Amino acid sequence: MVGERYEVEVGPVAHGGGHCVARHEGRVLFVRHALPGERVVALVTEGTTRSRFLRADAVEILEPAKDRITPPCPFSGPGKCGGCDWQHVSPGGQRKLKVQVLTEQLAKLAGLTPAEAGWDGSIEPVGGKLPAGQVPAWRTRVQYAVEPETGKVGLRKHRSHEIQPIDRCLIAAEGVTELGIEARDWPGVVSVEVIAASGSSDRQVVLTPAPGAQLPLVELDKPVSITRVDDQGNTHRVHGRSFVRERAAGRTWRISNGGFWQIHPEAPDTLVDAVLDGLDPQWGENALDLYCGVGLFAGALADRVGDDGAVLGIESAKQAVIDARHNLAALDNVRIECDRVETVLPRTGITATDLIVLDPPRAGAGRETVEHLVGLSARRIAYVACDPAALARDLAFFREGGYRPVSLRAFDLFPMTHHFECVAILEPVE
C-alpha cells in the first residue's frame, strides 16, 4: 500500500496536519501538499490494506487551484521538511483554509455558526499582508535537529524522525538567522534550540547533548547565552544569562531556560489587546488568569483592575511561576499559585469572580475545568486557544453551563502553517 500512487480529486481541508481530504475507491486519503478542488497524483506514505484511512503526499499536480504558488522554500515539498504545511499556498489562500477549518470545527463540535459564535468569518493577518511568494520571517524560536553522523542541523520531516538538512529556515526571525546556526557543525549534540527575543537583543541557544557526549565549544556570529539540557530534561546555564527578556503590554518579561513565550513577535500584544477589549476590566474587579505562564495576562489585568481589585494567576510549570512572580513583583494586587488549574482552583475557596482569562495548552481546558468555571459567575470569560477543535469542544461545555460566545477573533500568527490563534469572549446567557 505504501508507495502506491492514485489519481484523486482533492476535497476540503481537514483540521490539523495541513492536509486535505480525498477518496480512492471509497477509502479516505489525507493528502498533504494539495489544495481543495485540485486533481493530483497522491503517493501513499502511511497505511495498509486494513487501515481506515491512508496518508499521502501530492507528488504531481494535474489541475492546480488558483491559490497555488511555487513554494518559496527549497526544503518544502513531499518528503522534505515538515515544518511548513502551506508554502505552496498564497497568503490569502492560507487564511481561507483556516477559515474553513474553524467554521467546520465550530459547527461539528459546538453546533455554532460563525454568527452564533460572534465571529465575522475572517482570519486577521498580523504584521501586514504580504504578496504571494514572500515569506514572513516571524518565528523567534526554532528547534533544529542534528544529524548524528555529520553534526549538520536540519528540521524533521513530517511525522518522521528523519532530518532534512537545511542552510536556512525562511520563517525564522532575523534574530535567529543572524546566529549562523546552520553554517557550523554540532558534534555530540542531539538538538539546538535558538531563542531570539524580539523585545531585546537577548539571544539564547539551548543544547541537548547526546548521552555521554561533551558539549562543543560554541562560537557564533553574535553574543549569545548557552544553556544545556541534561538527561532528565533539566536545564543548566553554561554561559551568559539563563533567561531572555521580552517586551510586551508595557512591561519587560523574563522567560527562563527556554520557557514558553509566543513565537510571533507581535503575538503577545495582539492577544493582550484582544483579551482586554473583550473583557473590558473595571477598576476594583477580581480576575483569574488560568494557565498564566510568566504572567502576561495577569499583569495586563492587574493594571486595569487597580489597587482595589485582585488577580490570581495559576500555572503548573515551576520555572514559569518563578518568572511570573519576578515579573509581577511590583504589583501588590497579583498572586501566583503553582499547580494544575484543576487542583488549585477548588483549593482556593473562591466561589465567585468578575473576570476569567484562560489560555490552556493545545488539548484545551476540558469538561471538569469548564464546569468549575461556570460556577464562579464571572460576568465575562476570555478563552485564548491555539487549537480550534479544543476550543469548539469547550465552547459546547460552556454552553451547557449557561455561557455563550459573544465575540470570537482569529489571528494568523503562524503563517505558512495550519496553526492560528483564537480569542473567544463569553458571557452568561440571560
Name the residue range of residue 50's domain. 5-65
Q: Is 169 a catalytic residue?
A: no
Q: Which of 135-149, 209-223, 303-317, 378-392 has the lowest mean pLDDT?
A: 209-223
Q: In this structure, are 235 and 258 located in the same domain?
A: no
Query: Tens digit of pLDDT for each residue in 391-417?
Result: 999 999 999 999 999 999 999 999 999
CA distance 129 to 152: 34
CATH of the domain at 22: 2.40.50.140
Query: Tens digit of pLDDT for each residue in 292-341?
Result: 999 999 999 999 999 999 999 999 999 999 999 999 999 999 999 999 99
pLDDT band at 131 (very low <50, low <70, confident <90, very high): low
> What integer is the mean pLDDT of 222-248?
92
Last residue of a domain, one of 65, 86, 108: 65
For residue 341, what pLDDT is reported? Answer: 96
Instruction: Tell me which H or E stretch contains 252.
Output: strand 251-256
Q: In this structure, are 279 and 363 located in the same domain?
A: yes
Question: Number of structural domains, the chain?
Answer: 3
pLDDT band at 132 (very low <50, low <70, confident <90, very high): low
Is the pLDDT at 65 greater than 70, yes or no? yes
* Cell 502511511, residue located: 46
379, 429 Cβ separation under 8 angstroms: no
Is residue 341 situated within a structural domain? yes
Q: In this structure, are 116 and 163 located in the same domain?
A: no
For residue 135, what pLDDT is reported? Answer: 86
Q: In this structure, are 160 and 280 located in the same domain?
A: no
Is the pLDDT at 220 greater than 90, yes or no? no
Return the higher-pLDDT residue of 391 and 230: 391
> What integer is the mean pLDDT of 57-71?
97
Is the pLDDT at 100 greater than 90, yes or no? yes
Kindly name the residue from 20, 73, 386, 422 that is annotated as catalytic.
Answer: 386
Last residue of a domain, one of 47, 65, 83: 65
Q: In this structure, are 348 and 366 located in the same domain?
A: yes
Q: In this structure, are 235 and 292 located in the same domain?
A: no
For residue 358, what pLDDT is reported? Answer: 98
Q: In this structure, are 281 and 169 located in the same domain?
A: no
Is residue 71 situated within a structural domain? no
DSSP string, 292-307: -TTTHHHHHHHHHH-T
Q: In this structure, are 28 and 150 located in the same domain?
A: no
> What integer is the mean pLDDT of 51-62?
96
What are the φ/ψ torsions at residue 5 (nearest 5 degrees)?
-120, 135
For residue 430, what pLDDT is reported? Answer: 81
CB count within 10 Å of CB 45 equals: 20
Mean pLDDT, all residues of the chain: 95
Q: In this structure, are 381 and 289 located in the same domain?
A: yes
Q: In this structure, are 174 and 191 located in the same domain?
A: yes
pLDDT band at 222 (very low <50, low <70, confident <90, very high): confident
CA distance 141 to 65: 32
253's CB contacts (< 8 A; 6+ apart) are 199, 245, 246, 247, 261, 294, 295, 296, 323, 327
**Percent of the chain scoring above 70 in pLDDT:** 99
Q: In this structure, are 22 and 156 located in the same domain?
A: no
> What integer is the mean pLDDT of 279-293?
98
Is residue 85 situated within a structural domain? no
pLDDT band at 114 (very low <50, low <70, confident <90, very high): very high
Q: In this structure, are 105 and 252 located in the same domain?
A: yes
Q: What is the phi-psi region of residue 127: left when phi exceeds 0, alpha when psi lies from -120 to 50, beta otherwise? A: left
Please report how many Cα atoms fall inside a 13 Å half-sphere around the Cα of residue 392, on the Cβ side: 21
Query: Tens digit of pLDDT for each residue in 163-219?
Result: 999 999 999 999 999 999 999 999 999 999 999 999 899 999 999 999 888 888 888
Of residues 124, 201, 119, 187, the one with CA closest to residue 153: 187
CATH of the domain at 219: 2.40.50.1070
Last residue of a domain, one of 242, 267, 299: 242
Query: Tens digit of pLDDT for each residue in 332-370?
Result: 999 999 999 999 999 999 999 999 999 999 999 999 999
